[in-house]
Amino acid sequence: MGDATAVLEGIKQREGVWYPALTPNLKGLEGAIASGVKEVAIFGAASESFRGKNINCSIEESLKRFEDVVAKVRVGCSRLPLRRPHRSHKVAQVSRRMYDMGCYEISLGDTIGVGTPGKCSTMLEHLKQVIPIESLAVHCHDTYGQALANILVSFMEYIRVVDSSVVGLGGCPYAHCATGNVATEDVLHAPRPRLHHGR
């Protein structure tokens, strides 16, 4: 994130394309605004250990920081791990707080890529109780080749927003051996389920 300004200055921005920036606090927000960013994404976790490594604070402290950011700009998503089914209630709780702050979209992130369709389904069942389905998205890393299967489960639950990256670029410095986000090319070529019920 330290080179976000240089990246934004070095690319040619296209009409109709959003260029959000990750902003963990007010300092990051100020840098994003100075770079001409029109939308930001805050990123958190429902795990104290991961949150501590990623942004060096507790869950509660990070939520207070996010409130300051959300009060100033339009905010996109929070990314929260899918890896432990027994944490589903915690993910739902943190997600609801971020939604209530004003985040228009909550992107559920399997940051280390160990989610499975079963875990994903359980997580979404909890989330649907507290967040409108149209405000949910998924962010699946493909460490163990489960990203497309998890995305298919998400499609079946009527989720329509998927984060992806060109050729699966990315990763996480705090997740040993984690690969990048699911490849955009794979998502585009994956079969889509036929959904009914007027959706």
Phi-psi region of 54 (alpha: psi -120 to 50; beta: other; left: phi over 0): alpha
What CA–CA distance (Å, rounded) separates 66 from 99?
A: 11
For 183, phi and psi rounded to 5 degrees?
Answer: -70, 135
Which pLDDT value is given to residue 152?
A: 94
Residue 120 annotated among the catalytic residues of the structure: no
- Catalytic residue chosen out of the listed positions 77, 120, 172, 177: 172
pTM equals 0.80
Judge: domain 19-189, CATH 3.30.310.80: no
Which pLDDT value is given to residue 116?
A: 93
pLDDT tens for 28-63 read 888 888 887 888 888 777 766 655 555 667 778 888
What CA–CA distance (Å, rounded) separates 139 from 115?
A: 11
What CA–CA distance (Å, rounded) separates 69 from 40?
A: 9
Which pLDDT value is given to residue 124?
A: 92
Outline where DSSP puts E strands in the chain: 21-22, 40-41, 106-110, 136-140, 162-163
Which pLDDT value is given to residue 147?
A: 93
Which residues in the chain come in under a pLDDT of 70? 1-2, 47-56, 74-86, 172-177, 194-199
- Cβ density class 19-30: b for 16+ within 10 Å, e for less: eebebbeeebbe
What CA–CA distance (Å, rounded) separates 91 from 108?
A: 9
Which pLDDT value is given to residue 90?
A: 82
Which pLDDT value is given to residue 91?
A: 86
Which pLDDT value is given to residue 86?
A: 47
Which pLDDT value is given to residue 64?
A: 83
